[in-house]
């Protein structure tokens, strides 16, 4: 199965931990999504329920008539009390920089009242395995978030979560994967293409 993972376009809030905080796409963000989807055909689109991903997925589905599924497991990481705050603001608080560094270094550490990267990968693994179980021959577009894309790559390619920061996934990035499940039910994938905005 071919899966295209598309990070929503920019919201103009670089440097902020916007997990469940849901700012709208900027005009540049809309342009990024349109460039990544223009002239391409998917029979089905799967989207995070967060508006910055969902509205673009709905727009594409409306224009092409393809099926659209909203799947909460493709939501961005829940940053808990950090959600919606800038990294610099969090780091400036007593112990904040050490907490942020630990959170990014150890995938088992949860954001305060939020999720860990391991939690996110478990959600995205469920979502990915549901798609693969349908065995659709047609390509699927998943409109989601940077963290969820990293979690999918970890699951499908076997990459350790600690190493995923070595791949830059800017807003509007599209990663095409060929993927499936072996006879043992284990998911696999290979990167076919990475298109940065």
Pure H helices in the chain:
27-37, 51-64, 87-92, 96-105, 117-133, 146-157
Picking from 32, 82, 75, 26, the residue whose alpha carbon sits closest to that of residue 53 is: 75
The pLDDT, as a whole number, for residue 106 is 94
Distance spanning both ends of the chain, measured CA to CA: 24
Indicate the pairing of strand 187-195 with strand 174-181. Answer: antiparallel
The pLDDT, as a whole number, for residue 165 is 84
Q: Other C-beta atoms within 10 Å of 172: how many?
A: 24
**Integer Cα distance of 138 and 90 in angstroms:** 43
Q: 20-33 in b/e burial notation, b at 16+ Cβ within 10 A?
A: bbbbebbeebbebb
Strand partners, 181: 187
Task: Report phi then psi at 58, rounded to 5.
Answer: -60, -40
Q: Are 19 and 83 in contact (CB under 8 A)?
A: yes
Strand partners, 46: 69, 142
> pLDDT below 50 — which residues of the chain?
none
Query: Considering the entire predicted model, what is its pTM?
Result: 0.96
**Integer Cα distance of 82 and 167 in angstroms:** 23
The pLDDT, as a whole number, for residue 45 is 97
The pLDDT, as a whole number, for residue 157 is 96
The pLDDT, as a whole number, for residue 5 is 98
**Integer Cα distance of 77 and 135 in angstroms:** 27
Domains and CATH numbers, the chain: 2-195 (3.40.50.1240)
């Amino acid at each position: 199965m071919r899966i295209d993972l598309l990070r929503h376009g920019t919201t103009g809030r670089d440097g902020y931990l916007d997990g469940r905080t849901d700012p709208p796409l900027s005009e540049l963000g809309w342009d990024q999504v349109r460039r990544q989807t223009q002239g391409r055909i998917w029979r089905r689109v799967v989207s995070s329920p967060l508006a910055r991903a969902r509205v673009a997925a709905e727009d594409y589905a409306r224009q092409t008539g393809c099926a659209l599924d909203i799947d909460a497991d493709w939501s961005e990481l829940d940053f808990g009390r950090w959600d919606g705050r800038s990294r610099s603001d969090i780091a400036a608080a007593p112990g904040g920089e050490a907490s942020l560094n630990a959170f990014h270094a150890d995938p088992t550490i949860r954001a305060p009242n939020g999720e860990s990267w391991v939690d996110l990968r478990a959600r995205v693994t469920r979502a990915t395995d549901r798609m693969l179980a349908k065995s659709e021959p047609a390509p699927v577009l998943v409109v989601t978030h940077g963290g969820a894309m990293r979690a999918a790559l970890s699951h499908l390619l076997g990459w350790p979560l600690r190493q995923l920061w070595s791949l830059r996934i800017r807003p509007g990035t599209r990663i095409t994967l060929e993927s499936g499940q072996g006879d043992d039910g284990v998911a696999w994938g290979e990167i076919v293409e990475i298109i940065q905005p």
